Structure 1
């Protein structure tokens, strides 16, 4: 295959993944295209499939050996993105295909931190069960617990996430860079249910 032909075939694979076209993915892989070929933004076909939440396409690519930890030019990987967006079925597949639980996004956060912030309750549970570090601190100086409080809305989903994190042994007194604790943030925002939960487990 000429280099131009190879480039075209790689582009076709990534475009097929973006459309969720499993037959076209099969065809591209059958022609010998590298499963982890990248586009101009350093996206692999698998990342393109995850961005569009195409489960069957993502599954086929993982079965073909696609790297669930391959990062694009903004440090998203299939695993990290599935966690951040709460794409549960794809996330479970990435975990079964060697997701690096310690890998971090462009903010220096694990998959658990954006999942907690965005209120993806089941995703948080799956990531905790997988063994992601509940006390990892990102580049902003925030843990998953702090993000769930500071960037959450104090509603039922974020309450549930705070409970999951505390049950998983998250350090409830791990403060932000200004020394403000999760409890102080929750009190300041008037999140009474989260305040109650945190106090019950010894938060100060």
Structure 2
């Protein structure tokens, strides 16, 4: 028990050497989740290399990836995805990683919303979508889909990105409201959602390719024998 506490404390301050010294057996779930939440990619790598379960969750049902995403830690999120993290894990509040990176809403785990800057939000969102995260997760729930969250906060670029990845602009939350219904009046996001077709022909073609490949094979886009520019477009780079 003392060793587990030492790992957690070292992870919180990013002390890689101390974590290495403490690792005598399988790392604790708390250490990996805290390292991800604190934005310590080297600690995350170290714990995973020693057999930490990438998908283990805490009492709020938050995994390391969900914790990293909710705090805006791009590097940690990428490492966890590369190691097989479940990109559609939800907490007991039904928030997924996509919900967390597209808004500033309260979660069961935090007393205050964590505000991620727009650039990092877009990077986190692209990363999750490339890994096959479901843009329509939460359909019919109280929180709604990630598009509901993005629209509610008037995050127009995030809304556009989610739509480009196949998010349903007509999805309804538990109150029957669509994303356009929760977007601020006269906002750019509401204007986007009211447009006849927010997607270009190229973007629609990307959705067809993604659908043909299937969620489990999105990582194979880089192997396609097509120009690099086309690969970049398909991968949301």
Instruction: Give the TM-score range, shorter chain.
Output: 0.7 to 0.9
2:125 to 75, 79, 91: 91
The aligned residue for residue 35 of structure 1 is 54
Say whether 1:120 aligns with 2:149.
no
Q: CA deviation at 1:108?
A: 5.1
The aligned residue for residue 139 of structure 1 is 174
Taking the TM superposition and a 5 Å limit, the aligned residue runs for 1:3-152 are 6=26, 9-85=28-104, 87-104=121-138, 106-107=141-142, 109-148=144-183, 152=184
**Runs (4+) off by over 3 Å:** none
TM-score, normalised to structure 2, is: 0.62
* Distance (whole Å) between structure 2 residues aligned to residue 50 and residue 168 of structure 1: 32
Distance change in 2, residues 1:109/1:168 (3 Å) = farther
Distance change in 2, residues 1:93/1:60 (3 Å) = same
Distance change in 2, residues 1:90/1:168 (3 Å) = farther
User: Cα RMSD over matched residues?
Assistant: 1.9
Q: CA deviation at 1:163?
A: 1.9
2:102 aligned counterpart, secondary structure: helix
Checking the alignment, whether the CA contact within 8 Å between 1:37 and 1:44 is kept in structure 2 is yes
* Distance (whole Å) between structure 1 residues aligned to residue 143 and residue 43 of structure 2: 35
2:191 to 151, 163, 179: 163
Gaps of 5+ in 1: 171-204
* Distance (whole Å) between structure 1 residues aligned to residue 194 and residue 65 of structure 2: 33
Q: CA deviation at 1:79?
A: 2.0
Checking the alignment, whether the CA contact within 8 Å between 1:134 and 1:169 is kept in structure 2 is no
* Distance (whole Å) between structure 2 residues aligned to residue 102 and residue 50 of structure 1: 17
* Distance (whole Å) between structure 2 residues aligned to residue 29 and residue 35 of structure 1: 7
* Distance (whole Å) between structure 2 residues aligned to residue 135 and residue 108 of structure 1: 15
Q: Count how many residue pairs are aligned between Structure 1 and Structure 2.
A: 159
